[in-house]
A and B are shown apart, each in its own frame.
Chain A
């Protein structure tokens, strides 16, 4: 491109942007859009703050429960014969293994928040960041849900992700749909041609410049507000998250500049362009993602969860009916814990409980795997089909940047599962050893528990959940953002080709 051409484009862009600034309607729309973006940011920030507060409160509850358990144990074991301890019930006492493992133990797993968490809520309100972990099973994790008004979940969140994905294209279209069409209406194209300005240059330069100028303003305002309000931390990670978000928004805006350029290349007037442009918005933002979701749910349906419940109840009945066989198999695997004097059918429920729970999980493994596979199939189909929907791509990219996407939650659950197994193993070993000790030397009559038996004081040794560094690490620029750039380039190229070959000056 020659220097003259560059100068010409610079002149075109500068002139056009000055003209845009003189249009009260455009400025007003931009101001309204920026206000809405700030409101959306505030919602995301409030959500992020509430999640952090819940996580802190969970950690505090966990620590407090441990302290209380330690002091209760210290009190009890100082004088177990104290008449005040006569009414102690082992099943609700933290200093008895059976009470602690199945009732009093408080342990949480917290999904670490990412620096860009406030920039998108995504599925964050459906997939909880704080889950209670119990030794017995993963149910408390799998079924965890935070308290939200169902209507709020159904309506969807007014966060920055919604604003960018759904509303921002409307602003961009309103700002760009008069490119070329206005020149056509006012029959300025021949005059411009005399100056050596081609319609293609007008179209591309003005569509891209208007979209970029508006988007850069949005990024600057939102970025500054996010940093000032603390929604983005003033750290390298925070700035990195902000930069990745800005790059994604820019790529998405370029895609919409491409849509506008294509519409303006074909439309003869601003009215037609408005009709076609907003029709394209409906098709791309509403219809295509909805059609993809409907298609995926038809192509890869999830089995009804009611079936899971029936299977779970059947399995629980089966385990209960075969409890002796189950325990026999368990002690065959762990002969070191096999009872010496007590018949297996006479073992107390607390001693067999974790083994039965393991057997239940094993029996349900196939059913759970069927659900997981169906969900994975859906996710895979969505990932593939989303390539054809730039709106879905941008939605995914923004979810990933906020750390509220389903894939990250699945990784979190997988890490929690590893921790839960460790917790299960910890208590299983202690309970079985305690049962052997109790069998050898039962507690004195009248005491609920004793140090040589089920008495428990190793609170500090109970496994705690720590998220991996990978889970806490901020993602880089999502691949979906590159997909958006490809789409933008494609649309702009088609628009340029069209305007070059098909558009006449009059």
Chain B
């Protein structure tokens, strides 16, 4: 199951390079060609061995069944959510436009709900989506919080190991690699077959690369159901509502695919390296499982716990208390009086009711802007602390490939905290646009008259159409760097282990 174990499946013996071939000898083979021939031989041998091993089939069948279940469950949930949000968004737009005649400030209080759009890629990696609210009510005077977190409706055990394609690829695929590859070299060492392998003359690096590549290909099979799910959701999204919430969807998909390949390569290299460094299969399995448990189970949780210390977040009660206190404090009444007086002077009248503009609208907008400053300060501090926590957690990516991959994967699927905050800010901008449109409409009416508006005004508020900002080079590098580091470190570790194996005793 773990590797080719005998002469019949070892790389061809004739593959040794002949740098100084004499007369009558076979044609000289370059070092590179020799390496590739050894790689091909080892690949064929390993692949054949694994095809014959029923246990490989069992592990793969189980993992594929799980990957398929995860993809189906995730895609179905996403499709249902997308349809529900699309319908709700359309209903809200229709409600806003058909609210009838009313005073614009009443319309501002009536408000609208907006719903977070989801990308097809989030079928693969739902990221934080279950833990953030999906909708927010945009109304006058208040920046409301996002509500209806799916996590609040789910049972605790569902949260412990929520089945998603990302979970399969980030947590279970490495485990499959470990189970399939822990004996890659350890078995030969344990059974004293290293001599046979060394006698074949095949470079260890070629054999290791071939065995690692087989592991990668086998584990990459687990990604197929997820890819199918994403394509299905993407096709549905394209048919229903256009291109989805991305302007750089293709680039994100490529980045996620490349990241996944790199991640599987990291684990393949680690597995081959540990196996080469272990004298026994039991030791290899124990070391790899400990590594997996530490990096895939413990570190992701510990990292987020420790990140809390980097930038503690207030409790909701404390946050609301501070915010309400700030909102409750009267804004600069002297400034308001000065503004009112300036208007009166500008238009040469002695009372606001005689103004050609409506003081109520101006005052309402002033009040909104005062509130906006307070919201910006409070939510700004909160979101900055969250970002600092995200940054602190990202550092753990240098120690844990799983943390690194999770960060990159959620960033490309737009299901990370930063892009959720992007949506929160966009929704708040829409709220402010609605308020300004309504207050301006009041302000242009003459004197103190209170005039109801109709659909012509409601139409002036454009529908909320959110697109995630394209991932910039800096962002891509920031998310990819820990994974690239992990790839570099694992390859170096593997090379060192192989070098030691090559130089060391046959056992």
Contact = CB atoms under 8 A, between A and B. Distances in A.
Interface of A: 36, 39, 43, 50, 53-54, 57-58, 61, 92, 108, 122-123, 126-128, 130, 132, 143-158, 162, 165-167, 170, 174, 270-271, 274-275, 278-279, 282, 285-287, 289-294, 296-298, 301-302, 304-310, 313, 317, 371, 375, 378-379, 382, 386, 392, 395-396, 399, 404-406
Contacts of A290: 66, 161-163, 167
A157 B301 contact: yes
A206 to B, nearest CB: 18
A270 B92 contact: no
B342 interface: no
B317 A174 contact: no
B131 A154 contact: yes
Given A156-B301, A167-B293, 8 more contacts: A54-B315, A57-B321, A126-B151, A130-B316, A132-B317, A145-B133, A278-B285, A307-B84
Contacts of B132: 150
Interface string B280-293: 11100110010001
A316 to B, nearest CB: 9
A260 to B, nearest CB: 15
Contacts of B328: 92
Interface of B: 62, 66, 69-70, 73, 76-77, 80-81, 84-85, 87-88, 91-92, 95, 113, 115, 127-128, 130-135, 145, 147-163, 167, 171-172, 175, 179, 280-282, 285-286, 289, 293, 297-298, 300-305, 307-308, 313-321, 328, 382, 386, 389-390, 393, 406, 416-417, 420
Given A170-B293, A271-B285, A395-B160, A147 B382 contact: yes
A312 B127 CA distance: 28
B316 to A, nearest CB: 5
A165 B305 contact: no
B71 to A, nearest CB: 11
B301 A158 contact: yes
B87 A310 contact: yes
B396 to A, nearest CB: 10
A309 B114 CA distance: 10
Interface centre among B127, B163, B171, B175 (most CB of A within 10 A): B163
B317 A152 contact: no
A126 B321 contact: no
Interface centre among A43, A92, A108 (most CB of B within 10 A): A43
B77 A291 contact: no
A304 B81 contact: yes
Interface centre among A145, A167, A270 (most CB of B within 10 A): A145
Interface centre among A36, A92, A151, A165 (most CB of B within 10 A): A151
Given A152-B304, A313-B91, A130 B317 contact: yes
Contacts of B130: 154
Contacts of A375: 153
A428 B172 CA distance: 57
A108 B301 CA distance: 31
B87 A275 contact: no
Given A162-B160, A170-B289, A145 B316 contact: yes
Contacts of A282: 172, 175
Chain B binding surface SS class: helix
B330 to A, nearest CB: 9
Given A275-B285, A313-B92, A294 B315 contact: no
B285 A147 contact: no
A167 B297 contact: yes
A156 B81 CA distance: 23
Contact of B317 (A57, A165, A395, A399): A57
B157 A395 contact: yes
Given A123-B156, A395-B156, A151 B317 contact: no
A451 B470 CA distance: 60
B66 A291 contact: yes
Contacts of B159: 123, 126, 156
Chain A binding surface SS class: helix
A317 B91 CA distance: 13
Nearest to B148: A305
Nearest to A150: B128
A232 to B, nearest CB: 20
The 3 closest A-B pairs by CB, nearest first: A304-B84, A150-B128, A158-B301
Nearest to B112: A313
A147 B84 contact: no
13 contacts: A127-B152, A144-B316, A147-B319, A151-B304, A155-B303, A271-B285, A278-B289, A287-B62, A289-B160, A306-B88, A309-B88, A375-B153, A378-B155
Nearest to B300: A155
Contacts of A399: 156
Contact of A306 (B115, B286, B298, B313): B115
B304 A386 contact: no
Contacts of B386: 149
A296 B315 CA distance: 33
B153 A302 contact: yes
Contacts of B301: 155-158, 162
Given A123-B156, A151-B417, A274 B286 contact: yes
B128 A57 contact: no
A148 B390 CA distance: 12
A293 B159 CA distance: 9
Given A127-B152, A274-B285, A292 B157 contact: yes
Nearest to A405: B156
B131 A307 contact: no
B149 A145 contact: yes
B152 A145 contact: yes
Nearest to A178: B282
B316 A151 contact: no
A285 B81 CA distance: 29
A364 B39 CA distance: 67
Interface centre among B152, B300, B302 (most CB of A within 10 A): B152
Contacts of A308: 148
A271 B285 CA distance: 8
Contacts of A145: 133, 145, 147, 149, 152, 316
Given A166-B297, A170-B293, A313 B151 contact: no
B314 A386 contact: no
Contacts of A395: 156-157, 160
Contacts of A270: 282
A50 B308 CA distance: 12
Given A43-B305, A155-B304, A286 B161 contact: yes
Contacts of B81: 304, 306
Contacts of A149: 304, 307-308, 313, 386, 389-390, 417
B316 A147 contact: yes
Contacts of A122: 156
A270 B150 CA distance: 44
Contact of B84 (A58, A292, A306, A406): A306
B129 to A, nearest CB: 9
Contacts of A123: 156, 159
Nearest to B152: A126
B155 A143 contact: no
Contacts of A404: 156
B327 to A, nearest CB: 10
Nearest to B172: A286
Given A149-B304, A149-B308, A271-B282, A382 B160 contact: no
A154 B131 CA distance: 7
B70 A310 contact: no
B369 to A, nearest CB: 19
Contact of B135 (A285, A296, A306): A306
Contact of B95 (A165, A302, A304, A313): A313
A389 to B, nearest CB: 8
Nearest to A143: B147
Contact of A158 (B127, B135, B161, B302): B302
Contact of B308 (A152, A291, A406): A152
B156 A158 contact: no
B374 to A, nearest CB: 15
B70 A294 contact: yes
